[in-house]
Amino acid sequence: MTVAPLRFEVSEYNARLEATRTAMAHEGVDLLIVTDPANMAWLTGYDGWSFYVHQCVLVRQDEDLVWFGREMDANGARRTVYMNESRIRSYADHYVQSSQYHPMTALGSLIKDQDWSTGVIGIEKDNYYFTHAAFEALSSVLPNAAFKDTTRLVKWQRIVKSAREIEYMQTAGKIVTAMHQRVAEVLRPGVRQSEVVAEIYHTATRGVDGFWGDYPAAVPMIGAGVDASAPHLTWSDRAIRSGESIFFELAGVHKRYHCPLSRTFYLGRPDQKFVDAEKAVVEGMAAGLEKAEPGNTCEDVAKAYYRVVERYGFIKPSRTGYSIGLAYPPDWGEHSASFRVGDRTQLRPGMTFHFMSGLWFGDWGIEITESILITDKQAECLASCPRQLIVIE
């Protein structure tokens, strides 16, 4: 079988594995079971829409990585991972969505056969892809193992991006810029939300400058009028109306690397509360970006932003940013560092964040956000859209 070109050099995958092994040793973990598809892809290159069934990557200190998944997905592994055939293992289809069998019992048998069933086994307890039933099935086969929660062990190794990862995210930034430009071109009173989203998807997939667009980990999120009070609603067939706002939270994606960006549009003359909120958000973000430099912390960025918006009389109870990069549904966040009070993660060059400066209230809201790269000096925005409330008269 012809192997697809790897998205990174094998040397980069080897460096990722060594960083993971170092973290495992620090945590006293003998065997790491990685079930988060973004973590699996980061370690091996595996890329497939197979995360709706159980799959994983096994990491040991003294063995090559093992990809484990459904039998029909093994060819997908052969097409995308950097390991050789002997490191691709699969389970039969009668394990899939069965009330009698569970794939984690097959995994447990594999682990026993390799004499890996004692010691400390790290599992990603708090993710979307490893269920309570999965843990019960696995632990029933491995009664002599001690299990440890390693949900964020690999995630923290991913937080500083390589030069190639940054290239992919910069391309995603160009794609999301084009997406918002297309929104501005087609957004008019009377146009249905679903029609605008169709244009968004077309632009997102077509890509820019010869670079194709990948599917996003989350669908376009839209808030029009009163719905703008809720950050995570999606579109309907309702027509766009004059005299109301509408925000679009979108992500450009290239080779699974994401660049989220939100902009709020107002059709007509905006109310004073929108004018004030725009000033608060834009000034607050500028203050936060001044703090987004190496040596400062995530908390420093958050406090700078909060101080400004509070001066304008607004309160934001939620975090104001989070680490981004490689992602699979249902979420494009990395689940590691956040711009929030109490997060003292020190910023380093190569970190990437979605500066989520949105404000939501009882019957309205505004989102003007940026995805940023921490550099040796000041933060760099990955997209290039006017940082303002966009008024369409």
* pLDDT at residue 3 in the model: 64
pLDDT at 378: 87
- In the block, tokens 């079971």 appear at 33
Encode pLDDT of 212-263 as tens digits: 999 999 999 999 999 999 999 999 999 999 999 999 999 999 999 999 999 9
Domain count, the chain: 2
Distance CA 9, CA 108 (A): 32
Q: Give me the pLDDT at residue 1, please.
A: 53
3-state secondary structure of 230: coil
Domain that holds residue 37: 10-157
Q: In this structure, what are the phi and psi dihedrals at residue 258, rounded to the nearest 5 degrees?
A: -105, 145
Same domain? For 312 and 237 the reply is yes
Where the chain has pLDDT below 50, the residues are none
Cis omega before residue 330 (within 30°)? yes
CATH of the domain at 141: 3.40.350.10
Instruction: Write down the pLDDT at residue 2.
Output: 54
Say if residue 140 is in the same domain as residue 67. yes
Last residue of a domain, one of 157, 186, 205: 157
28 phi-psi bin (left φ>0, alpha ψ -120 to 50, beta other): left
**Pair of tokens at residue 150:** 């390693």
Place of tokens 């400062």: 296
What is the structure's pLDDT at 93? 98
Provide the pairing of β-strand 370-373 with 352-355.
antiparallel
Query: Is residue 364 assigned to a domain?
Result: yes
Residue type present at position 224: A
Rounded to whole angstroms, how far apart are CA atoms 354 and 250? 11
Does residue 152 share a domain with residue 14? yes
pLDDT, averaged across the chain? 97
